[in-house]
Chains A and B, each alone.
Chain A
Amino acid sequence: MTPIRDGLRKEAVPGAFVGLAAGLIAGGLAALVGQPLGWALVTTVALGLPLGAFGGVFSLLVAAGRLPAGRFAPVALFWLVAFPLARLVHEITLGLALTGQFRVPADLAGFLAYQGIVSLGWAIGFLWLHERIALRLRVRATASR
């Protein structure tokens, strides 16, 4: 892996980790309470991957100086768009995996609006964890130098 790619990968870690962790929690709990392994896996992948991907993009934007670190408003605006999209991917994938049919939520506008509001809550938790993980990685990187 080239140094530039390696650097990008490291910068994307905090956000990607939080997104993937959210999917893993949902999938892990599904398995814990007796859901079939396939269902748990679909939940983990269908929710964790989009949230992880968007989280990684967010971290890269912060690292590139396009978004300020540790501020709430930019995070909230970012997830206002990204969170409903991630949930839409989740819903469509679940439908495809469980019924084999491509279905979007019945009231798409209402669905997206609701997810947009919930995204504010998600943004608080995301930023909280993101800051903590990013700080730890920075401290570790400084120590290893």
Chain B
Amino acid sequence: MDDPNLAARTETSSPPEKERVWPAGRLEAMPIRKLPDAPPSIHLLGPTVFLVALGVGMGESYMWPRLVLVFGPDIRWLFLIGVTLQAVVMLEMARYAMATGESIFFGAARVFKPIMWFFFVVAVLVYIWPGHLSAGAAALEKITGIPWTVSACVGLILVGVLFSLAKVIYNLLENLLSILIGLLVVSTAVVAAMVGTWGDLTSTVTGMFQFGYFPAQAMSPEWFPIIVGSIAFAGPSGMQQMWYTLHLRDSGAGMGAHIPKVRGLRHAGEEEKMPSRGFMFDTDDKAELAKWKGWRRWVTFDALLLFWGITMLVTVSFTVLAQSASRTSPDVKALIESGEREAALNAMSDAFASAGGPVLGGVFLGFIALIGLNATLGLFDSFSRGQADMTYHFVPGAKRFRMSHLYAGFLWGVITFGILILLFGPADGPGAILDVLAFLSTFAMGAYCVVLLLVNNRMLPEPIRPKLVTNLIIGFGAVFYLGMLFFSLFKFGVVVG
């Protein structure tokens, strides 16, 4: 998004004579400032691109097609629930970020600081491992012959250099990811149009409305944890929704317009001073509330059409492709069921090749590589952004650095660690703690639902707090994620798969 709110930010340099503030929690109160005007009409360009880049991954292209082949299309109602829940979570994350210009991590600290530190530690434990690079890089190896560790290491360094040279990192990434996601969506639609059939599509779509369908086999220790993992991975998983609040802020949405943007290392000197807290607008002013409604409309469009729509499109298309592939080559069904991800992806590619010519096999692997690239770009930026934000505001003495320096420190730290692990260690993390990492990733999702309830209902002024229905849905999310996680753990002794 352009920076339409420069005037709004300039206002912060000349605060009113007697400053009004909004006290929230035990941390510094938020000064009242003007809420900028919302974009003039429903506008397409927004930070949802980051959430789509992070969210459309293995869950959509592999895990759900796999479940459909094993249990039939009717199992997809669980996907519908998972993605719809994530769309509501996205809207609620946006509520706090747009109202205050603060990240959800800052909001959590306003409620109780240890909650924020919990997320800081979870992010380090879960997201420093470079395993997420492997599927995309392996697909690239299949197409080009370049060993995947080489392309992964080169890719890591390129990402670091690119982000360090950028003037404003958000603008660079939004432009880049928008093109990549746009191409992914357009190409997916074209390939699905060429390969799929009416029957595949109707069974995939109607399967989404078979609420309650749960075959006995799904309740086994082998499959239940996989289903739980697949629901958690429907759309953005782990902490990806929390990072969205930082992207929303840097895009200048709502009160984020009052916060300076994070710059690349080369341009760190040009960064304006980061305020020590966010801002609030006057919720007693009807004109301000009208602007707020405009912002809510804008983000709702983003959540429903771009996030929900694109996630649905990609997963429906991949499921149609998987059904088509399994019909052409029965071997692919056995391979996909067996759980060998790389073998299954290659088999799906071969099946597409035999169904519609070599072009389709290549297209499929190209998609997997593209999805991997999008996720890696988004993940490295998001991780560094989140950790830098928490460090800057809550580690004593960190404010002597600029936010851009802290960002660069975390970025190059995770890149260096990633290269070392790719060359010498286990890419997904040590085998002994894999279960712990999977547990933490899903636990964080239940935990952020609880945080959202607390932050939006206690830290925001009453006129802009969520309605009862929204609270019930987010409460359901907390019970859903945590309940399934602990049920799987206690009933089968296994965390998510």
Enumerate chain A interface residues (CB-CB to B < 8 A).
18, 21-22, 25-26, 29-30, 32-35, 39, 43, 47, 68-72, 83, 87, 107, 110-111, 113-115, 117-122, 124-129, 131-132, 135
Main secondary structure of the interface of B (DSSP, over half): helix
Q: Which of B193-201, B209-217, B464-472 lines the interface with chain A?
A: B193-201
User: Which chain A positions have C-beta within 8 A of B194?
Assistant: 87
Give 27 pairs: A residue, B residue, CB < 8 Å, sorted on A.
A22-B186, A22-B187, A22-B190, A26-B363, A29-B366, A30-B357, A43-B359, A47-B190, A72-B305, A107-B198, A113-B198, A114-B193, A114-B198, A114-B201, A117-B201, A120-B313, A121-B316, A122-B185, A122-B186, A124-B313, A125-B184, A125-B186, A125-B187, A125-B189, A127-B44, A129-B179, A131-B45
Instruction: Report the minimal beta-carbon distance from B362 to chain A, rounded to whole angstroms.
Output: 3
Nearest B residue to A26 via CB reads B190
Whether a CB of chain A sits under 8 angstroms from the CB of B158 is: no
Q: What is the bound-complex CA distance between A119 and B190, given in angstroms? A: 9
C-alpha spacing A46/B383, complex, angstroms: 44
B291-320 near A? 1/0 per residue, CB < 8 Å? 000000000000001100110010011000
Consensus secondary structure, chain A interface: helix
Chain A residues positioned under 8 Å from B317 (CB to CB): 118, 121
| Size class of the contact patch on chain B | 35 or more
Q: Provide the bound-state CA to CA distance between A127 and B44, in Å.
A: 8
Question: Besides the contacts A25-B187, A30-B359, A125-B188, what 14 more A-B pairs have beta carbons closer than 8 Å?
Answer: A22-B186, A25-B186, A29-B366, A30-B358, A32-B143, A34-B358, A70-B42, A87-B193, A120-B313, A124-B305, A125-B183, A125-B310, A129-B182, A129-B186
Question: Is B359's CB under 8 angstroms from A121's CB?
Answer: no
> Given the complex of chains A and B, what is the CA–CA distance between A129 and B44 in angstroms?
10
Q: Tell me if B193 and A128 are in contact (CB < 8 A).
A: no
Q: Which residues in A have their C-beta under 8 angstroms from that of B316?
A: 121
Residues of B within 8 A of A (CB): 41-45, 143, 175, 178-179, 181-194, 196-198, 201, 205, 305-306, 309-310, 313, 316-317, 353, 357-359, 361-363, 366
Residues of B within 8 A of A30 (CB): 357-359
Judging by beta carbons under 8 Å apart, are A124 and B43 in contact?
no
Q: Would you call B181 and A114 a contact (CB within 8 A)?
A: no
* Given A26-B190, A71-B42, residue A128 in contact with residue B201 (CB < 8 A): no
**CA of A8 to CA of B191, assembled, Å:** 31
A120 to B359: give the CA distance in the assembly, Å: 24
Please measure, in the bound complex, the distance between the C-alpha atom of A113 and the C-alpha atom of B178, giving whole angstroms.
29
The answer for the CA separation of A47 and B194 in the assembled complex, in Å, is: 11
Chain A nearest CB from B201 CB (Å) reads 6
Tell me the smallest distance from the CB of A78 to a CB of chain B, in Å: 15
Cα distance A115–B353 in the bound complex, in angstroms: 21
